[in-house]
Copies of this chain bind each other. A is one copy, B any other.
């Protein structure tokens, strides 16, 4: 099955530019996610099969979770350029970057002609050729289509790398970008040798014990406010010790209070050694937590944002603002509650 039959064609000028080059520098955004790593690894492998060379250069290392997909492919990490830069390279190809500065390497990368390949709204079209497909479920799906356009053979390891990107960017096919195109691409990748069960094992069944214990500690602090439409949890300094957890083990904690029925906004209050508190905010639908974070000098988007507050005493103020934001979007108001309902 050819997914291009249902997707817009790869722009001719993009394919032509790619055919003009011999040696490519691939990059993606800081803190690379599954789509960044999966698309980079797959594209590097594919370029190799059509007689080109590719080097991956990211500012941040890949999470250990993706090691199985990276295999023995070398990824150059950090601000120092890889050997041969820039003279040996014909093009730089940033993946998944709406702006070049998302790479964290923009001071260096701008010296080379850029082929810009992305699926984000608002991409700044900063390349000598730009392929921005906002309907693509993942950049990995665009790489799959590019392979077809280049007549590049796709082996099982490449298919697995693309599947990593597709499955992580669609939230295991649970987000709104779990479109027919996403499933068409998944079917093709599995036919080519991708292994969904293996990828899921790496992503979801390889949690450090400390992360699981830390989740237990944090959930013990769960409080509901405002007729259970707001949830808050606290991450205290001594929890890491008690749980035997690393700092990175706090990833994903906020998803649990967010999964509670009827909850529209969530705050995670994380104590920092310097004495202040980092606030992570999440919301569903029209509740704008970005505005709340912005008023306190933080940043983010409508449904995901963050800021700093001086101390735990200020937490109730944040909850009150969340209450106002929830009320502002609701048909019926909810009683302001800085005191928790229920809770432990």
Question: Which A residues have a C-beta under 8 Å from some C-beta of B?
Answer: 1, 167, 171-176, 178-180, 183-184, 186-188, 190-191, 196-197, 200, 204-209, 212-213, 215-220, 222, 224, 228, 231, 242-244, 256-261, 342, 344
Contact = CB atoms under 8 A, between A and B. Distances in A.
Contact of A197 (B178, B197, B231): B178
Given A180-B191, A344-B242, A174 B222 contact: no
B261 A209 contact: yes
Contacts of A206: 259, 261
Contacts of A342: 209, 244
A224 B208 CA distance: 12
A178 B196 contact: yes
A342 B178 CA distance: 40
Nearest to A214: B219
**Number of copies of chain A assembled together:** 2
Interface centre among A190, A216, A344 (most CB of B within 10 A): A216
A68 to B, nearest CB: 13
A174 B186 CA distance: 12
30 contacts: A1-B1, A171-B200, A174-B196, A174-B197, A174-B200, A175-B200, A176-B197, A178-B196, A178-B197, A179-B190, A180-B187, A183-B186, A205-B258, A206-B259, A208-B261, A209-B224, A209-B231, A212-B219, A212-B256, A212-B259, A212-B260, A213-B220, A216-B217, A216-B218, A216-B222, A216-B344, A217-B220, A219-B219, A220-B220, A242-B344
A208 B135 CA distance: 34
Contact of A260 (B183, B186, B208): B208
B172 A172 contact: yes
Contacts of A218: 216
Nearest to A181: B187
A183 B180 CA distance: 9
Contacts of A243: 344
Contacts of A219: 212-213, 215-216, 219
Contacts of A175: 196-197, 200
Contacts of A344: 213, 216, 242-243
A183 B172 CA distance: 12
Nearest to A211: B260
